[in-house]
Amino acid sequence: MVLERSVEDRIAESMYPAGITKGVADKAVRRWFTKGVKAPDLAEKARITENYLLYIPFWRFIAQGKAVGCGYSEYREASGNLLRNVFEELIDEEFVWTECACDTGKYGIHELWLEPGGEVPYVPGSVAVMDAGGSAAEASTRGREAIHAMIREKMAKRIQNVTLDKTFLIPKVFELVYVPIWIVHYTYGSGHFTVIVDGVRGEILGGTSPANLTARTRFMILSFAAGGLMIGTALGMLLHTGTFMVSELIQIIILLMGIALCMVTYPAFRSGKTVEASGTMKNINRLRPSLRIPKELTDYEILTHASKLLQCPECGEAVEQPWGEVVTHCAACGKLLDVTADGVEMVSYAAAKPNLLSEAAMEGREPQYIPFWKFSADVEVSDYLSEGETETGLPNIEGKRSYYICAGDIPRYLSEPWEVDLTIRNPEFEELEEVPERMPVFINKKTAKELSEFLYLRYETQKPGILQVLRYTFDVTSAEIVYIPYYKEEAGYIPGV
């Protein structure tokens, strides 16, 4: 959640440690010589001339993508009958975008092939690296746009006509990650060739080799023809029945099999709701300082850096953004501040006193005070259409109410039901004079505001019918942090309000 600041001046840097030695890379290349469509005597005649380890940089942007998509698809049956299927999709999962941050030229490496996990801090000068080029701010914008597109693509997979389409993104990590590769040069006859070996797992990422031309040509023809060939054969048989001794039934079966082969990605037409959820905030832990070393700025970056002095609006104290927090208390006056690259904004906050019931039930126990963003919002719906079952047992949450978004370091699968509960109930509570313990705030105002709109939309999709049209305005008039007491039990938490 340190994206806003890290883009500006503190790109986190980490690296994957090399997992294989030079000898292993050498063996992997020699094995590769014997595989696929290559000159038959390659293993025997190739001479490896150089083999060295190099780290190449990648931009990596990890975000939780959330989306609600509604719409319909139509399908005309052979009889002329038009089938219409309505869809309502909810997506809540982690998306990862990577882009090579240097010019890999003829090796053509564009994306990172490794999953997040297993990285160590990158110490400049410790390994041979290709320098990262280009602007971090622009890379982050590209990443953000690419992930929005990925969410949208996933959402609209089954929907031909989209009638509602909202995507949200919670940034988790934006970083430079250095990845080891072995670059192996070899000669064959008078030619020079190169192979790239993944330095973590020892797989061949790509390379050039003298090809066995006859085999390659054969292979290309076959792969192009596979599906089409069968249809062609069957159609040919049907059209020239006289010349073939095959029964019509078998010809039709061959035809159908050919069509099926060509349509492996044919969408399953069925109505309904889909929910995809995964990767729930797990990478948030990777923002911990132990794994992150700030990137040193280059002279160019310092010269072009639009530096802005961040100050507490209350007392003028210079504000330093701590790692892993986007909302922080001023060291001098203690006011709560929402710090972004663009400036510092004061946030009012309060702590809720546990109610009498929970105080009696939990006598002698101290609750944890968990921070929530509380937004006063006004939702006005101008257009609504839901198909199928529309009778709902759920209360209507349009109009004015407070939306609660958990901002503490609590797994989202635990905090999301709390958010819905607090938003529907809008509990009344007394305020404590002082906040007992300041649990760090991990989600800033901008992201929390998007999450509150998503909460509203997700709630609407949980109603029984299949949502098709929803036009609304979501106006937020005020925002504050409220620390809400929760009693930690073995099986979970018990709310104190």
Task: Give least dist CB 445 to Zn ion, A.
Answer: 18
Nearer to Zn ion (CB atom), residue 209 or residue 340? 340
Q: Measured between alpha carbons, how far is 197 from 338 in angstroms, rounded to an integer? A: 45
- Choose one: 44-52, 140-148, 206-214, 332-340; the region binding Zn ion (CB under 5 A): 332-340
Task: Give least dist CB 310 to Zn ion, A.
Answer: 11
Task: Give least dist CB 319 to Zn ion, A.
Answer: 8
CB atoms within 10 A of CB 491: 6
Nearer to Zn ion (CB atom), residue 86 or residue 330? 330
Nearer to Zn ion (CB atom), residue 198 or residue 338? 338
Q: Measured between alpha carbons, how far is 461 from 184 in angstroms, rounded to an integer? A: 54
Task: Give least dist CB 339 to Zn ion, A.
Answer: 12
Contact 485, 369 (CB under 8 A): yes
> What 3-state class would DSSP assign to 253?
helix
The two three-digit tokens of residue 355, written as one number: 């109610």
Task: Give least dist CB 312 to Zn ion, A.
Answer: 3
Classify residue 409 by its DSSP letter: S
Using CB under 5 A as the binding rule, whether residue 330 contacts Zn ion is answered as yes
Q: Count Cα atoms within 13 angstroms, Cβ side, for 451.
A: 25
The closest alpha carbon to 207, from 2, 400, 32, 442, belongs to 32
Task: Give least dist CB 408 to Zn ion, A.
Answer: 22
Nearer to Zn ion (CB atom), residue 317 or residue 345? 317
Give, for 385, the enclosing helix (H) or strand (E): strand 368-387
The binding track of 460-489 with respect to Zn ion, each residue x by CB under 5 A or -, is ------------------------------
- Choose one: 95-103, 109-117, 287-295, 330-338; the region binding Zn ion (CB under 5 A): 330-338
The site for Zn ion, by CB under 5 A, has a size of 7
Task: Give least dist CB 325 to Zn ion, A.
Answer: 16
Nearer to Zn ion (CB atom), residue 239 or residue 309? 309
> What 3-state class would DSSP assign to 243?
helix
Nearer to Zn ion (CB atom), residue 220 or residue 332? 332
Q: Measured between alpha carbons, how far is 178 from 182 in angstroms, rounded to an integer? A: 13
Considering only 222, 226, 252, 333, the residue that binds Zn ion (CB under 5 A) is: 333
Using CB under 5 A as the binding rule, whether residue 253 contacts Zn ion is answered as no
CB atoms within 10 A of CB 75: 12
With the C-alpha atoms ordered 173, 5, 473, 427, is the resulting torsion angle positive or negative?
A: positive
Contact 188, 46 (CB under 8 A): yes
Task: Give least dist CB 320 to Zn ion, A.
Answer: 12
Nearer to Zn ion (CB atom), residue 316 or residue 388? 316
Nearer to Zn ion (CB atom), residue 253 or residue 315? 315
The interface with Zn ion within residues 294-323 (CB under 5 A) comprises 312, 314-315, 317
Task: Give least dist CB 348 to Zn ion, A.
Answer: 14
Give every CB contact of residue 366 below 8 A, 6+ residues apart in sequence: 436
Considering only 246, 332, 361, 414, the residue that binds Zn ion (CB under 5 A) is: 332
Using CB under 5 A as the binding rule, whether residue 345 contacts Zn ion is answered as no
Nearer to Zn ion (CB atom), residue 34 or residue 348? 348
The closest alpha carbon to 469, from 392, 381, 408, 410, belongs to 381
Chain Cα centroid distance, residue 281: 10
Task: Give least dist CB 315 to Zn ion, A.
Answer: 4
Classify residue 230 by its DSSP letter: H
Contact 25, 180 (CB under 8 A): no
Nearer to Zn ion (CB atom), residue 121 or residue 322? 322
The two three-digit tokens of residue 259, written as one number: 């069509």
Nearest 5°: phi and psi at 249? -60, -45
Q: Measured between alpha carbons, how far is 459 from 83 in angstroms, rounded to an integer? A: 28
> Would you tell me which residues interact with Zn ion (CB under 5 A)?
312, 314-315, 317, 330, 332-333
